[in-house]
A = this chain, B = another copy of it.
Amino acid sequence: MVRIAIDAMGGDHAPSLIVQGAVEAALEWPELQIKLVGDTAQIEKHLGAKKPSNIEIIHADDVIGPDDEPVKAVRRKKSSSMVMAGQLVREGHAEAMLSAGNTGALMTTGLLVVGRMEGMERPALVTMLPTMDDVGCLALDLGANMDAKPEHLLQYAIMGSIYRSKMNGMEKPRVGLLNVGTEAMKGNELTKAAYELMDSAPINFIGNVEARDVLLRNCDVLICDGFAGNIMLKAMEGTAGTLFKAIRDVFSSSLLTKLAAALVLPRMRQLRGKMDYKEHGGAPLLGVNGLVVKCHGSSDVKAVKNAVRQAKLAIESNLISSIAAEISRK
A246: which of B178, B213, B271 is its contact (CB, 8 Å)? B271
- CB nearest neighbor in B for A145: B188
Which residues of chain B come closer than 8 Å to A224, judged between CB atoms?
231
The CA of A233 and the CA of B147, in the complex, are separated in Å by 21
A227/B264 in contact, CB under 8 A: no
A259: which of B132, B230, B263 is its contact (CB, 8 Å)? B263
- Name the distance in Å between A270's Cβ and chain B's nearest Cβ: 8
Say yes or no for A318: interface residue by CB 8 A criterion.
no
Q: Which residues of A221-259 are within 8 A (CB) of B?
A: 224-228, 230-243, 246-247, 250-251, 253, 256-257, 259
B242/A215 in contact, CB under 8 A: yes
Say yes or no for A212: interface residue by CB 8 A criterion.
yes
Which residues of chain B come closer than 8 Å to A216, judged between CB atoms?
242
Say yes or no for A268: interface residue by CB 8 A criterion.
yes
- CB nearest neighbor in B for A188: B146
- A contact residues, range: 35 or more
Q: How many copies of this protein are present in the complex?
A: 2
- CB nearest neighbor in B for A239: B239
B212/A238 in contact, CB under 8 A: yes
Q: A180-B231, A214-B235 are in contact. Are A257 and B246 (CB under 8 A)?
A: no
Say yes or no for A111: interface residue by CB 8 A criterion.
no
The CA of A225 and the CA of B147, in the complex, are separated in Å by 14
A188/B257 in contact, CB under 8 A: no
B251/A238 in contact, CB under 8 A: no
A211: which of B189, B231, B257 is its contact (CB, 8 Å)? B231
A243/B241 in contact, CB under 8 A: no
Say yes or no for A260: interface residue by CB 8 A criterion.
yes
Which residues of chain B come closer than 8 Å to A180, judged between CB atoms?
143, 146, 226-227, 230-231, 234
- Name the distance in Å between A234's Cβ and chain B's nearest Cβ: 4
- CB nearest neighbor in B for A259: B263
B247/A234 in contact, CB under 8 A: no
B215/A238 in contact, CB under 8 A: yes
Q: Which residues of A187-207 are within 8 A (CB) of B?
A: 187-189, 191
A210/B234 in contact, CB under 8 A: yes
- Name the distance in Å between A258's Cβ and chain B's nearest Cβ: 9
A227: which of B187, B257, B263, B274 is its contact (CB, 8 Å)? B187
Q: List 24 A-B contacts (CB under 8 A).
A: A132-B242, A143-B180, A146-B180, A146-B188, A146-B189, A180-B227, A180-B230, A188-B225, A188-B227, A191-B227, A211-B232, A211-B234, A231-B235, A235-B235, A235-B236, A236-B236, A236-B239, A239-B239, A239-B240, A247-B271, A256-B263, A257-B267, A260-B261, A260-B264
Ordered nearest first, which 8 A-B pairs have the shortest CB separation?
A212-B238, A235-B235, A260-B260, A260-B263, A211-B235, A146-B188, A239-B239, A212-B234
